[in-house]
Amino acid sequence: MIKKQNKTANNTPKLSDDYCLQPYLTKIDDRYRHFLWVENRLTESKKNLETFASGHEFFGLHKNKTGWIFTEWAPNATAIFLIGDFSNWEKDDKFLLNKIDDSGIWQIKLPANTLKHGDLYRLKMCWDGGEEDRIPAYARRVVQDEQTKIFTAQVWNPKHPYKWKFPKYKRPAEAPLIYEAHVGMAQEKHGVGTYTEFKNNVLPGIIDAGYNTLQLMAIMEHPYYGSFGYHVSNFFAASSRFGTPEEFKELIDAAHEAGLAVIMDLVHSHAVKNEIEGLSKFDGTYHQYFHEGPRGSHDAWDSKCFDYGKPEVLHFLLSNCRFWLDEYKLDGFRFDGITSMMYHHHGLGSGFDSYEKYFDGSVDDDALAYLSLANKLIHSVRPGAITIAEDVSGMPGLAAPLKDH
């Protein structure tokens, strides 16, 4: 049980200091215990959260000393083919993945000369009763054909990978003064702006204005530009609309050189319904990453809702948090739309006009546990990171340290 204390060590009020929360302290304690249970379930008390959240190092397409290795999780699949420029976009047994365990993990190893930088590829996902093209869940580069508007994964293995100038940058100690921007829409020109144009034309003004933190919208790849980046299809791919991964890294490096921290909007509250580009019906089922039945759809947003109770989904999302920190040296995240995550009713139709609304059974404890896990992971990987929760419900204690629960 939570024991009432007046102040924490840094003189911050505790949840138990709010007399209106007194009737709900047991429920708050239960949520904390659920978080501990989920964490222990994921790590099995044998590894830490950082080690668990390393799916991006295993899944997807990787090149090693012997060649290429590609791995995907698709438990309902009966066969998976890698298709692309190298196979004339046809199913070829030379590119048939092998099922390596009972959990639905598939893998293929290929000689180094099979794929080259810039090749386009997809998966031909087969299941009982059907087969369709899919973009790999961990694809790091996704591009759109200008003529057909179709999205496809792209092999990204440049001869000269980007070399960070400030790989060990630490954000300013003072409170963040944030400039929020959309790379594509921040320019004065007509059309979609680029990472390089933002670095050259917009960043200097942000620096001159005295900001110390840059918050970027719409970085995760999304099929509909008008969504402002909030209907994500490819969670590990920096949007190719704005340029290459190297150009995005160059923008982050330039901000770091000027003393600015860089954070991005992280959309883990839902996902686009698109099936070829996104995760919906990825392996022939609608419940691989999302809730089964009506709960898996967000009618107001026309999108899919993650099942935060599945370890495989938590593995995907937590690895996604770590990926952006590891690969792009980001300094934190603004978690978008978490009100929708935290409540079974998505925050719709509730005025949140009393504390009872936060403890009436409408809260998704699994989603709340995921947010706590993500916050712990991020600060473990990047001490001093910024994490912002975009919540419009006013959930009591949402930003309180775990030790104060």
- Residues assigned a catalytic role: 336, 390
Pair of tokens at residue 321: 């948090």
What is the C-alpha separation between 268 and 335, in angstroms, rounded? 7
Kindly give, in sequence order, each residue whose CB lies less than 8 Å from that of residue 315, ignoring residues fewer than 6 positions away.
42, 52, 53, 55
Residue 194, CA distances (Å) to 102, 239, 260, 298 in order: 44, 10, 19, 31
The DSSP secondary structure of 211-222, one letter per residue, reads --EEEEES-EE-
User: Which residues on neighbouring strands pair with residue 130, listed in sequence order?
Assistant: 127
User: Exposed e or buried b for every residue in 166-205, given b needs 16+ CB within 10 A?
Assistant: eeebebeeeebebbebbbbebbeeeeebbbbbbbeebbee
* Ramachandran class of 125: left when φ > 0, alpha when ψ lies in -120 to 50, beta otherwise: beta
Spell out the alpha helix ranges (H) of 44-131: 49-52
Q: Which of 6, 29, 32, 28 is nearest to 17 (CA)?
A: 6
Pair of tokens at residue 58: 């295993």
Contact between 247 and 196 under an 8 Å Cβ cutoff? The reply is yes
